[in-house]
Structure 1
Amino acid sequence: MKIGTIGTGFIVEWFLTAVEHNENCECLAVFSRKEETGRALADKFNVKKVYTDFEEMLKDEEIDFIYIASPNSLHYSYALKALEAGKNVIGEKPFTSNVRECQELIRLAKEKHLFLFEAITTIHLPNFKRLKEKIGELGPLKMVQCNFSQYSRKYDQFLAGESPNVFTTKFSGGALMDINVYNTNFIMGLFGKPKKINYFANLAHNGIDTSGVLIFTYDGFYAEAVGCKDTKSHNMAQIQGEKGYMLIEGETSRCRQVEIHLNDREEVEIINDQEDITALYYEMKDFLKIVEAKDYDACYKLLDYSLSVCEVMEAARKDAGIVFDADK
């Protein structure tokens, strides 16, 4: 992979750290609208090229992958241009603002025989994959709970009357898209698409959700996902079955450690197969494996999954009455 990046926020730094720790991939260029911010990022990670014109970066024949970490509402337009230019794409979560945009990108990627990935950490984590293998030990499931709450410094700006991107419908922000998306992927990565979805959101004056609770209805059990950017909490996930429960400490974006508590065992089984590297390392590792094998079927299977998540997220927004500018 010869990568060009879009964006200069902390998530791009995590991504570039993941690139440094994976073989057979490197970042050749960064794009930023401001030369100084692009240069600062490039210098920190020893990247040679800085572009302030996206069209010029797309003309760079050395680059074969574009990584997109712009504000949510811009994911689609950047990905569309990159695919049209013949570049493979890695798009940060949330993949797109809505289902229509997601479907169009998938159609174009398949038409041009290009790789297109959603950068969502949860489903690629070794600890997540292990708990998925062992979940049957819990017997019939009854309840799943997730809480990912992180008080945002941008919320203080929002309360002061400013309009940070993450708290506007213009940029497809909100707690669901920014933070509860991880809980959604945790739940759907284990159990697939729910029979029903409901979203009970705390809506601000501008119609954006600053926090909320998603309820997933499955056959025989419910899953609850709490995501907040206006409060903080102890972050965790818990899966409860008739024969025991699993406790996942920390954010569902990282799944730092899994505890398995079974009714007929006194000893608690601890699972931690992850190195102390940024969580993005593991998604990059999976993407590289797929690209090196030229396994387009595996890529498109992941895209089918991303589309199903997008459909659930859009249904949740509709249930709560949240409308993005991108929907109009």
Structure 2
Amino acid sequence: MSNPVRWGIMGTGGIAGAFATDLKLTDSGTVVAVGSRSQASADRFADAIGIERRHASYEDLAADPDVDAVYVATPHPLHHPNALLALRAGKPVLVEKPFTMNAGEARELVKVARDNNVFLMEAMWTRFLPGIRHVRELIGGIGDVVTVTADHGQWFAEDAEHRLFAPALGGGALLDLGVYVVSFASMVLGAPSKIVSMVDPAFTGVDGQTSMILGYGSGAQAVLTCTLRAKSPTRAAIVGTDGRIEIDGPFYAPATVTLTPRDGEPTVFESVHEGSGLRHEADEVALRLAAGDTESPLMPLDETISIMETMDTVLAQA
């Protein structure tokens, strides 16, 4: 692009590093600054990635005049306050998923963005991958969608200090892993009209395993699971009256998608993506900013709120 987006990153964890590294695969943007809660952490990250500007506070990053857009990659509970900092500074913001800790926080971020006419988007990176874009195109050829299934399970050693088990860090299977399956069902079927869930807690009290059945006005259903206790197949399927789409694991970064008509032979589609797959969401932000848009039609803000509302309801049922 003639005017690449100059990104500032809030946070210095693994996902922040992956985003910064993936930006090197595209010409849509570049990382120019990083902000952390300590100078030492900002310096370590900046030295590793090769960033000149490093800030010892999130406030300083948000105020940096050389930053065009902010990527919020801090722990879940900080997404809301960190995004507010950037939005109130007039910076377009990409917020790592889960967008916030709950729907109330999500609604406030969206209101501030809209009131100030500033771009805002959830960093559900899988939405922007070529393979998932192709899945969306294939859905139109399978008739009325009847069932969506998806699972996301990873094994983690029980460690009270690990962020996935720590309540103070927004731990639990649903917010970290389940957001993928809920967002996938939302992409296909929209907001559910009925939610039934079963949650089993981990040893720290966060949800260790969660299963959901979502019902829709059309009669369609989504059956979704997530767990911290075992590595699951992480596959997904979209079943329609005229055929089905099956996505091999991990479904959120698909390499193989199979389309099987009701009366016909399956067709297998292969896809690849560079790096960790995060460059595509950065490209989307750059595209929307160049067009003067304040949100993305691929990950609309109202849908992000709806996804948070679904997860709120699931956890409330626990």
TM superposition score normalised by structure 1 = 0.89
| Alignment partner of 1:31 out of 11, 29, 35 | 35
Deviations 1:30-72 (A, max 9, x none): 1223434332322232211221122222232111211111110
- 1:101 matched residue in structure 2: 105
- Is structure 2 residue 85 aligned with structure 1 residue 81? yes
Counterpart amino acid of 2:248? E
Deviation at 1:86, TM superposition (A): 2.0
Deviation at 1:300, TM superposition (A): 10
- 1:213 matched residue in structure 2: 211
Deviation at 1:98, TM superposition (A): 1.0
Deviation at 1:298, TM superposition (A): 4.0
- 1:323 matched residue in structure 2: none
- 1:223 matched residue in structure 2: 222
| Alignment partner of 1:60 out of 64, 77, 100 | 64
> Using the alignment, how far apart are the partners of 1:16 and 1:101 within structure 2?
26
> Using the alignment, how far apart are the partners of 1:276 and 1:81 within structure 2?
31
Deviations 1:247-267 (A, max 9, x none): 10112321232111223223x
Deviation at 1:99, TM superposition (A): 1.3
- 1:245 matched residue in structure 2: 244
Instruction: Give the CA RMSD over aligned residues.
Output: 2.0
Give the fraction of aligned pairs with identical amino acids, expressed as a percent.
Answer: 30
| Alignment partner of 2:96 out of 92, 100, 103 | 92
Deviation at 1:299, TM superposition (A): 6.5
The secondary structure found in structure 2 opposite 1:21 is coil
- Is structure 2 residue 110 aligned with structure 1 residue 112? no
> Using the alignment, how far apart are the partners of 1:297 and 1:138 within structure 2?
29
**More deviation in 164-173 or 282-291?**
164-173
> Using the alignment, how far apart are the partners of 1:64 and 1:225 within structure 2?
38
Contact 1:150 1:232 in 2 (8 A): yes
Counterpart amino acid of 2:48? K
Between structures 1 and 2, the one with greater helix share: 1
| Structure 1 residues 291 and 273: alpha-carbon distance in aligned structure 2, compared to 1, 3 A threshold | farther
The secondary structure found in structure 1 opposite 2:44 is helix
Deviation at 1:15, TM superposition (A): 0.8
- 2:158 matched residue in structure 1: 156
- 1:289 matched residue in structure 2: 287
> Using the alignment, how far apart are the partners of 2:140 and 2:65 within structure 1?
48
> Using the alignment, how far apart are the partners of 1:192 and 1:6 within structure 2?
31
- 1:325 matched residue in structure 2: none
**More deviation in 293-302 or 1-10?**
293-302
Structure 2: unaligned runs, 5 residues or longer: none
Deviations 1:267-303 (A, max 9, x none): x212234433322122112111111111226479711
> Using the alignment, how far apart are the partners of 1:280 and 1:77 within structure 2?
23
The secondary structure found in structure 2 opposite 1:224 is strand
- Is structure 2 residue 264 aligned with structure 1 residue 269? no
Structure 1: unaligned runs, 5 residues or longer: 321-328
> Using the alignment, how far apart are the partners of 2:197 and 2:54 within structure 1?
41
Contact 1:290 1:299 in 2 (8 A): no
Counterpart amino acid of 1:181? V
- 1:193 matched residue in structure 2: 191
Contact 2:155 2:230 in 1 (8 A): yes
TM superposition score normalised by structure 2 = 0.91
> Using the alignment, how far apart are the partners of 2:140 and 2:28 within structure 1?
37
Deviations 1:130-165 (A, max 9, x none): 22222243334333211111112xx421xxxx3433
Contact 2:90 2:116 in 1 (8 A): yes
- Is structure 2 residue 228 aligned with structure 1 residue 232? no
- 2:24 matched residue in structure 1: 20
| Structure 1 residues 245 and 301: alpha-carbon distance in aligned structure 2, compared to 1, 3 A threshold | closer
- 1:133 matched residue in structure 2: 137
> Using the alignment, how far apart are the partners of 1:175 and 1:306 within structure 2?
18
Deviation at 1:79, TM superposition (A): 0.8
Aligned length: 313
> Using the alignment, how far apart are the partners of 1:146 and 1:106 within structure 2?
28
- Is structure 2 residue 6 aligned with structure 1 residue 2? yes
